[in-house]
A and B are shown apart, each in its own frame.
Chain A
Amino acid sequence: MVSTLAPLRPSSASIWQALAEVPDPELPVVNLVELGIIREVEWVGDNLRVTITPTFAACPAYEVMAAQIEERLYRLGATQVEIRVRHEPHWTSEWIGEEARLKLKAAGLAPPPHHSCDFIQVLLDPVACPRCGSINTSLRNSFGTTPCRMIYTCNDCKEPFEQFKPL
Chain B
Amino acid sequence: MKQALQKPLAQYLIALADDELILGHRNSEWTGHAPILEEDIAFANIALDEIGHARLWYELAAELSDEDKRTFPDKQVFFRPEQEFCCLQFVELPKGDWAFSMLRQYLFDALEAQRLKGLIKSKQKPLADVAAKINNEEIYHLRHTRAWVRRLGLGSKESQRRMQAALDELWPYAQALGARLPGELELVEEGFVPSSSKAFGLWKKEVSAFLKEADLKTQEAKVHEVDRAVHSEYFEVLVKDMQEVAQTEPGASW
A residues whose Cβ falls under 8 Å from a Cβ of B: 56-60, 87-88, 90, 119-120, 123, 140-147, 151, 165, 167
Q: Given A57-B56, A87-B129, A151-B38: A142 and B136 within 8 A (CB)? A: no
A87 and B38 contact, CB distance less than 8 A: no
Residues from chain B with a CB closer than 8 A to the CB of A143 are: 41-43, 45-46, 140, 144
Assembled-state Cα–Cα distance A59/B50 (Å): 11
Residues from chain B with a CB closer than 8 A to the CB of A58 are: 48-53, 55
Q: Given A57-B55, A142-B143: A167 and B48 within 8 A (CB)? A: no
Residues from chain A with a CB closer than 8 A to the CB of B51 are: 58
A160 to chain B, nearest CB (A): 10
B residues whose Cβ falls under 8 Å from a Cβ of A: 38-39, 41-43, 45-46, 48-53, 55-56, 126, 129-130, 132-134, 136-137, 139-140, 143-144
A57 and B42 contact, CB distance less than 8 A: no
The interface centre, meaning the residue of B43, B55, B133 with most chain A CB atoms within 10 A of its CB, is B133
Assembled-state Cα–Cα distance A167/B138 (Å): 11
Residues from chain A with a CB closer than 8 A to the CB of B42 are: 141-144
Assembled-state Cα–Cα distance A58/B140 (Å): 14
B97 to chain A, nearest CB (A): 20
The interface centre, meaning the residue of B51, B129, B137 with most chain A CB atoms within 10 A of its CB, is B137
Residues from chain B with a CB closer than 8 A to the CB of A145 are: 41
